[in-house]
Structure 1
Amino acid sequence: MKKHILFSLAIGSLFVLTGCENTNVWEEEQYIKQAYLVGIGEEGALVTRNVNYADESAETFVSVGTSGSLNPDGDIHCTLIEDPSGITSYNQKYKSSTEIQYQALPAANYNISSMNAVIRAGESYARIPVAIHPEGLHCDSLYALPLKMESCKEYPVAQAETVVLFAIKTYNNYSGYYNYIGTNNGASFSLIRNAVAVNKNTIRIYYTGTEELARAKDTGLTITVNEDNTLSLAGWKNLNVTEGSGSYDPQNKTFSFTCKVNGNEVEAYLISATASEE
């Protein structure tokens, strides 16, 4: 009987000890503590920020974080720097010589309030505000703000050499995919078109043929929504557009217009297919 009692006590003690050990495990850090710039794990360290041309100053954020199973018990101080070499490296690795290359976002088009971030005790992230001024950004160019973490006082920096590219993608209240239907010199057509934002109230479509950037100068049609929802139409580069008029229906997100394109009579409609950002 004594042997059975002693055995039971031993088993019970084992469970108690194991329970205590498990409790201590979860109260202790299980991983290496590091600071990192959010975005280093994305393919090519490329992170997209959508910006509306209608916003004179669009606010977005850059985030820094800490790894580990526990949040830090003290403030963590991180410093970022800009590193344009990251743009060159990305273009070389992910872009062919015939594709549009990323370029640095012009200094006049953004403002970073501070390059220092403080992750407060008990938290795992901190955000740095970035103001983007989209006016003047070209719709066919690729822009990026290249940042990396220069230092952290309290923790080592994860992937310290990785430059995160914050790519700026512009849109407006009218850009997106549309059903493009109508007649061109009496011949009916029905196409899907991606209306690209040119500025806060102008979009560009390809009035005919395939959507290839090389064809934009000859087939690009711009449509501007005026304050009274009437339309102004023009050719992007070489397209000859005359006698253009029309209107925009904001409730149904529909454009209707007539014009002459290179002398041909065009009557067309753009009916929103997505009602989403470009």
Structure 2
Amino acid sequence: MKRIAFFSITLLLACMAGCDNKIPMEENLWPETVYLVGAKDKIINRDLNIGYEKDTIYASVAISGSLPTKEDITVTIEEFPSGIESYNQKELGSDDIKYRTLTNGIYSFPQENVVVKKGETYGTYPVHIDPSTLHIDSLYMMAFKLSGTSRFELAKEDTVVLIRLNLMNDYSGLYYMDGVIKPADNPKDSVIYKSPRTLQAVVDGNTVRMYHQKNEWSKGATDYRPDYCFNITVNPDNSVTLKSWDKFNLVSGGGKYYPEMEVYDLWYTFKEDGMLKKTRGFVYKERKNDDEVRKINDWMEENRKYDY
């Protein structure tokens, strides 16, 4: 009995010693699977600079697990346009503007597969797109899913990623108008014009579209307002040229762009209900904090012209 007891204790100690030799951080703490980054969120956003002849967006593939990969993993990714159709049907109403796929010939894939290199957890899949072929008031989306992998399993949930494409340039974004509107024949009768303005990239890398006064339109909405918007083009000398977009009755206009402050000093005359009116003021880009707001307010006060 003593020999049996001694043998049992020795075996138990050996097992405990074996367990102690295992280092948890050297073992994967959860199964290794291949998945598309962003698929869990369904939609991810990618910007396209309309000023580029060709811009590049990326879909990303990742390997789950707590340890780096021990070899290169090759993953096959493919387009999945029916994912866009499904989103339109399930998430959008019958009157909503639907997302569109890109036309063949305006985009390309410079590589066939995604390779997650040894020791890494991510790999990227680039897509080259010609942004100038996209219409500013249409909605575009690309959809991808995984179709194969050289090792590990493909994720069984959240298998499709939708990429929403947003046109932009160096002058687009959220701005704020700070100015006045006056009748040309009665300049003392003024209306304060302070309002957020979304400047949308159009035409090229130097042009944005702006809506006049309270008539701003959100992309995807069905109540498009063609009578109230115009283009602003920043010229090489930072002067600006204004041109009517569609049906806005723009008579004249001009101004200057201050790149260091990201602000336009604008004026334009237009006809509304048979009356000639003039708008003048600053259109400045959204500020990140109160200190930046104070700086732009001080700058506008120092540079505001009262010759209108």
Give the TM bin, normalised by the shorter chain: 0.7 to 0.9
1:203 and 2:208 equivalent?
yes
The AA in structure 1 aligned to 2:200 is V
1:74 and 2:87 equivalent?
no
Residue equivalent to 2:269: 260
Contact 1:243/1:260 (<8 A) preserved: yes
Contact 2:73/2:116 (<8 A) preserved: yes
The AA in structure 2 aligned to 1:82 is E
Cα distance in 1 for partners of 2:101, 2:133 equals 14
Deviation at 1:17, TM superposition (A): 4.6
1:251 and 2:260 equivalent?
yes
Deviation by residue 1:118-167 (Cα, 9 ceiling, x = unmatched) = 22232222222222321132222221121111111322211378321122
Please point out which of 167, 171, 174 is paired with 2:168: 171
The AA in structure 1 aligned to 2:139 is L
Deviation by residue 1:180-220 (Cα, 9 ceiling, x = unmatched) = 12222232221121111113211122211142342531211
Residue equivalent to 2:101: 104
Deviation by residue 1:94-123 (Cα, 9 ceiling, x = unmatched) = 222222221112333322112312222322
The AA in structure 2 aligned to 1:169 is N
Residue equivalent to 2:39: 40
Unaligned runs of 5+ residues in structure 2 are 1-5, 183-189, 289-308
Alignment of 1:207-218 (within 5 A): 207-213=212-218, 214-218=223-227
Cα distance in 1 for partners of 2:52, 2:287 equals 21
Contact 1:150/1:160 (<8 A) preserved: no
Secondary structure at the aligned position of 1:258 is classed as strand
Contact 1:40/1:159 (<8 A) preserved: no
Among the aligned pairs, what percent are the same residue? 31
Deviation at 1:31, TM superposition (A): 2.5
CA RMSD of aligned residues (A): 2.5
Deviation at 1:33, TM superposition (A): 2.4
Residue equivalent to 1:231: 240
Contact 2:53/2:130 (<8 A) preserved: yes
Deviation at 1:247, TM superposition (A): 1.6
Alignment of 1:77-92 (within 5 A): 77-92=74-89
- Say which is worse superposed, 183-192 or 141-150, in terms of deviation: 183-192
The AA in structure 1 aligned to 2:216 is E
Cα distance in 2 for partners of 1:12, 1:162 equals 47
Residue equivalent to 1:60: 57
Give the direction of change, closer, same or farther, for the CA distance of 1:93–1:243 in structure 2 (3 Å limit). same
Cα distance in 1 for partners of 2:225, 2:209 equals 9
Contact 1:148/1:161 (<8 A) preserved: no
Secondary structure at the aligned position of 1:251 is classed as coil
Cα distance in 2 for partners of 1:36, 1:76 equals 12
Please point out which of 180, 194, 204 is paired with 1:183: 180
Deviation at 1:170, TM superposition (A): 1.4
Cα distance in 2 for partners of 1:224, 1:52 equals 15
Secondary structure at the aligned position of 1:216 is classed as coil
Residue equivalent to 2:28: 29
The AA in structure 2 aligned to 1:212 is W
Give the direction of change, closer, same or farther, for the CA distance of 1:265–1:29 in structure 2 (3 Å limit). closer
Give the direction of change, closer, same or farther, for the CA distance of 1:31–1:41 in structure 2 (3 Å limit). same
1:194 and 2:198 equivalent?
yes
Give the direction of change, closer, same or farther, for the CA distance of 1:274–1:110 in structure 2 (3 Å limit). farther
Cα distance in 2 for partners of 1:100, 1:148 equals 24
Cα distance in 1 for partners of 2:25, 2:262 equals 54
TM-score of the superposed pair, with normalisation by structure 2: 0.77
Give the direction of change, closer, same or farther, for the CA distance of 1:116–1:183 in structure 2 (3 Å limit). same
Deviation by residue 1:227-249 (Cα, 9 ceiling, x = unmatched) = 22222212222111012222212
Cα distance in 1 for partners of 2:112, 2:63 equals 17
Alignment of 1:114-125 (within 5 A): 114-125=111-122
Contact 2:270/2:278 (<8 A) preserved: yes
Secondary structure at the aligned position of 2:88 is classed as helix
